[in-house]
Amino acid sequence: MAVVFFFLILLFLGVTSANEKKLRESFLKLSNPQKVHQLYKLLNVNCIWYCESEPTENLQKLQEILSSAVYHGLDPESYKLPEGIDPELATTDTFIKLAYHLYYGRARPFELYKGWAVPPKGDRVLQVLANLIKEERLKDFFYELAPKSKDYWFLVEQAKFYQNLSDFEWRPIKTAKPLRYGDKSPCLDEIRFRLFLLGDLQEYSPSESFDDLLLQGVKTFQKRHGLPENGIIDQKTLAELNISPRDRLRQIYLNLEKHRWLPEDFKRAVVVNVPSFELFLIEGGSIKLHSKVIVGRNYIQDFRPTPMLYSRIESITVNPKWYVPVSISTKDILPKVKKNPEYLTRKGFRVFHGEGEIDPLQVDWSQYNERNFPFRLVQEPGARNALGTIKFNFPNAFAVYLHDTPERHLFRHTKRAFSSGCIRVEKARQLAFAILGEGWNDRRIESLIKSGQTQALRVNPPVPIYILYFTAFERDGMLHFREDLYGYDTILSRAFFGSGGKK
């Protein structure tokens, strides 16, 4: 096959026998020989960048594209022309490589993250490139191939901003105790200037006092970083302030990459962003519903991450029973039963062993552990049920789902990593009737809940659901950053920047 493409390229380039050997060597070194051939065929030309050994205007435009690629998280150093290859072919090969990286991303998410199965975008790259060249519109390269979402382009602009900030020295700021409104400290002036550079303070004048202006700047900064907006410069706030613009720029690049993995638009979908603990129902490009969510734990001693995945919500269960996974039965419930044998009865659990149901008060729970637990626990519907009154079902390899919760107080927390991997939704009822569509409202859902009966409601057509992991995003015109809860960014950083995490 390679030989066939080689001779086709020779044909399109009008190569003489004198140059054939050199071009053969060049062809064998190309990254995408088939795509190189296809592009020349679409254009029906034999040169794009060098015609009669002279550089064309296209070459200058490509150089401008390469210099702007850095703001999309694509390092121009990765697209330098290799030596020893015919410059026309090498430039075309590099051009195609850059285009595919911009459209699909550099990393392969399905190789990095178990279960990633988002439907890939249709391949329109070569046709777009051909059109841009034919119509002399290479200046539209990024507009045509980069994600169209305003969130993506906001991050591109922020990349430019943080690239400039990277020139500032960013020494760690230290304080012996939390700083509050009214305090005085030499480091407050440094904090004030840093907040001004980051845009959280609109003006700067030297001061070592914690005044009204600084208080507002601190609260804005805390809001942008998912911290409690208490206006106190504590260790968590200081830790975020000490993250350098260069590291933030790298974080922006990682999130630009994640945008490239997604469909070009969300016509109707449920989108969960794990690091910000939020859910969105999107319809027609607009947010129809927003809800707080609780996601999987990130404790070192009890790590239960919520996975990134794509699926479709096929049904909604009202008054669900909870068929407790063995891992939760042994890790979470068994220790409570050992302390209080009446725990299961009080919480509405039924216990099954083999083919039949048994009385939990007749079991000597002290003899069981994670290795020999033979029981199946089922929690009946009701006010005590851990799934609440609504459960959203979508097939996936992780046995996770969205559900309601009786523990409403947990939504008051800023960081909400409390679950065993499933996602608890604050506005579960509103989401249910919004997904079910016409004819459904809060009153009708409430009537089904009050019946106490478990009922499955089919969602037709099924609604796509994306559980995503953005740690840098736009909100109300401001750039927000969030913690890398599960180390998913670290995994991507190694693939994107190498083991050192640097470009």
> What residues are annotated to the active site?
403, 422
By the 10 Å C-beta count (0-12 exposed, 13-18 middle, 19+ buried), 191 is classed as: buried
At residue 404's C-alpha, the angle toward residues 400 and 406, to 5°, is 125
Bridge partners (DSSP) of residue 282 are 269, 287
Q: H/E element holding 290?
A: strand 286-296
Residue 71 CA to residue 155 CA, distance in Å, equals 9
CB within 8 Å of 188: residues ≥ 6 apart: 179, 207, 208, 209, 210, 214
Residue 64 CA to residue 195 CA, distance in Å, equals 33
Q: H/E element holding 196?
A: helix 186-198
Of 340, 347, 327, give the one whose Cα is nearest residue 366: 340
The conformational region for residue 313 under phi > 0 = left, psi -120 to 50 = alpha, else beta, is beta
Say if CB 423 and CB 295 are below 8 A apart.
Answer: yes
CA dihedral sign, ordered 421, 427, 428, 430 = negative
Q: 83: how many CB neighbours lie within 10 A of its CB?
A: 7
Strands (E), 195-273: 268-273
CA dihedral sign, ordered 50, 55, 61, 66 = positive
